[in-house]
Amino acid sequence: MTLTPLSGKVALVTASSRYTGAHLAGALARAGARTAVHYHGSKDAAETLVAQLRAEGGEAAAFGADGGSPAELRRMADEVRGQFGGVDILVNNLGPYCDTPFLRLPEDQWDWIINTNLKAIYVLAQAVAPGMIERQWGRIITISAGSAFIRSHSVYGLAKAAALHLTEALAVELAPYITVNAIAPGQIEDSELIDTIDPNYKRILRQESPLKRLVTRDQIAGLVLALCGETFATTTGHTFRMDAGWTIPTWQYQIGPVEYKGQEHGDDVSHRNDQIEG
């Protein structure tokens, strides 16, 4: 039998019954990992994905848990351990969105967004990292978002930004056997959800991004697989921005042109900058 890159490894991908999470779970299973597909309300979709992966020759199983409940997440981790023997790769993909302004944000919504986008990472790290350390190999990858770098996405942006801090802290704490990294995609090209909210949103983002394109689920999955491999074995505590340059700080108003010609014949050119003081 031909060995695939992740043969013998076990991967747990949260929120992986549908959408991007299903893409990530599928990529890991096709790379040889025994894959735990997590769902909350989408059991049928999870079981359909598992059946598809098994039909392709992979090994997968579906596990249900409320992503906002630490007790249920710990139970799920125990169940995955019981069936597969441990978790080597944890992909934190939970990420419900909410941009209600803070002054109108209900407290239960605050709790839900923080618990799923942030607290779940800590809970599952506690649950699976000891086994990774015992086996002297592990990968923890968090799917953050471009919202981590802007300040107008309310509690969602807050949670995603805090997840990057947690990524770095865990990278230090869990070394040397476990690498901990994050991926911060911008708007995803093949995500259907945003099209139902604003059909112009993707077009506007393409225009505003330096590379004039959007990231795809295949590209995100490709980076997840790469982070599990030897190429990135010495990369930890890093956040990979996959947003075509969208979050690079820029200033739209351009001054100029202001040409700097250098010092010629001993001239003092400092006065040429008077027009752009400060």
Would you please indicate which residues are annotated as catalytic (active-site) residues?
156
Residue at token pair 């099209």: 195
CA distances from 188 to 195, 216, 218, 239, 245 (A): 11, 5, 10, 17, 13
Cis (ω within 30 of 0) for the bond into 70?
no
CB atoms within 10 A of CB 71: 10
Residue 85, both tokens: 């023997």
Separation CA 272–CA 278 (nearest Å): 13
Residues ≥6 apart with Cβ < 8 Å to 48: none
